Amino acid sequence: MESNLHQVQDSIRRIVEAFVVTGTVTDICPYGNGHINDTYLVTTSGKRYILQRVNRYVFKEPVQVIRNIELVTGYLRDVIAREGGDPQRETLTLIPTHSGEHYVVDASGELWRMYLFIEQTISRDLPDTEALFALSGEAFGRFQRQLGGFDASMLSETIRDFHNTPARYAQLMDAVERNEAGRLCKVGEELAFCRRYEREVHTLTDALEAGEIPLRVTHNDTKLNNVLLDAKTGRGVCVIDLDTVMPGLAAYDFGDSIRFGANTAAEDERDLNKVQISLPMFEAFARGYLSQAGDALKLREVELLPMGAKLMTLECGMRFLADYLNGDKYFKIHREGHNLDRARTQFTLVSRMEAHFEEMCRIISRV
């Protein structure tokens, strides 16, 4: 056993032992930059695995999260095999425990799961080249297309109103009302910004209610580090982080990718002058995404993609801001004021999108 293994608590080692892994464990270390779950890379003498503790504050019914993932990956495995792909590489593979489940609950009630580590891939935390972003668009578009025939009623809603933007607005106002962490005095400008969107936050939900756009099975968390790209070719290999696969709108998946990947700055950049919407990145992603998902989308869905980008960015900013007001309970933070910094970049990006909205719409109609 190597030194790292000695550092991890006995409890984590015991968790690993509950799963059916190949070989003996040689190393366990924290991995990745997700904001939600605790992720570890587990190395054995035979293979590598991803071990995750599912965040119970975020996912109130974690067993339902596992059930959804079993259903979705099971369905995708068949589609991928039919299309001549490699299911072990192109979708997540849950590792069973010795008792045949796909999760373990530890003594303190925490739920753990394990996946095969998908080798020879990279996951990016910052927007890269247009070519790579187009390939990630292709991967998310393919994911959408492959799930086209999946029965949405089989899935549990793992987080209620996850992308319901009016509900997110109401949650922010509730956080303002409660002012739990006493930080309200610090967010006057940001709140004033959000209040200007009180009506516009309804655009997508209204279109859904009016029957202009359909509910689909969507990923709902399409940020760049939730797709693994082939280390050699950059091709999108596997869409990961399936905890929020639920009924949703195409505009959610498209919009959330743009929010993260077409920002010229990092999600938590403090120098707001660096925050801009990159129209070439926007176009690259749109080309990739629509090349795979486009045929299945209705005209109105396509027209609403730029609105999806704007509202997903605003919504994410409102979520960061609400979490800041609530005392940083939801998103992992790595510094004081981290959620406020993140909220500010999102709102700045919304303003930049406003300034270029017509161009965004023109790009979509051209693509």
| DSSP secondary structure, 101-117, as one string | -S-EE-TTS-EEEEEE-
Q: What distance in Å separates the CA atoms of residue 168 and residue 316, rounded to the nearest whole number? A: 9
C-beta of 92 vs 194, nearer to ligand ADP: 92
Cα→Cα distances 319→148, 217, 330, 341, Å: 29, 22, 9, 12
Cβ–Cβ under 8 Å, residues 69 and 242: yes
Residues 104-143, one symbol each (x = binds ligand ADP by CB under 6 A, - = not), give: -----------x-xx----x--------------------
Residue 118 Cα to chain centre, angstroms = 18
Q: Tokens standing for 55?
A: 């965040």
Residues 2-31, one symbol each (x = binds ligand ADP by CB under 6 A, - = not), give: -----------------------------x
Residues 12-51, one symbol each (x = binds ligand GN1 by CB under 6 A, - = not), give: ----------------------xxx---------------
Q: CB 315 → ligand GN1: shortest distance, Å?
A: 8
- Among candidates 205, 230, 282, 220, which has minimal Cα distance to 250? 220
- Among candidates 332, 310, 220, 204, which has minimal Cα distance to 259? 310
Stretch that binds ligand GN1, among 12-20, 128-136, 219-227, 231-239 (CB under 6 A): 219-227
According to CB under 6 A, which one of 26, 32, 145, 176 is a site residue for ligand ADP? 32
How many CB atoms within 10 Å of residue 11?
Answer: 11
What lies within 8 Å, CB to CB, of 43 at 6+ separation is: 25, 26, 27, 28, 49
According to CB under 6 A, which one of 90, 130, 190, 241 is a site residue for ligand GN1? 241
Cβ–Cβ under 8 Å, residues 145 and 251: no
According to CB under 5 A, which one of 52, 68, 222, 226 is a site residue for Mg ion? 226
Residues numbered 241 to 260 that lie near Mg ion (CB under 5 A) are 241
Q: CB 238 → ligand GN1: shortest distance, Å?
A: 14
Q: CB 198 → ligand ADP: shortest distance, Å?
A: 30
* Amino acid identity for residue 228 in this structure: L
Find the Cα–Cα–Cα–Cα dihedral 60, 64, 68, 73, rounded to 10°: 100
C-beta of 93 vs 276, nearer to ligand ADP: 93
C-beta of 164 vs 225, nearer to ligand ADP: 225
The closest residue (CB) to ligand ADP is 34
User: Would you tell me which residues interact with ligand GN1 (CB under 6 A)?
Assistant: 34-36, 58, 221, 223, 226, 241, 243-244, 256, 267, 316
Which parts of this chain interact with Mg ion (CB under 5 A)? 34, 226, 241
**Interaction site with ligand ADP (CB under 6 A):** 31-32, 34-37, 39, 50, 92, 115, 117-118, 123, 225-226, 228, 240-241, 243
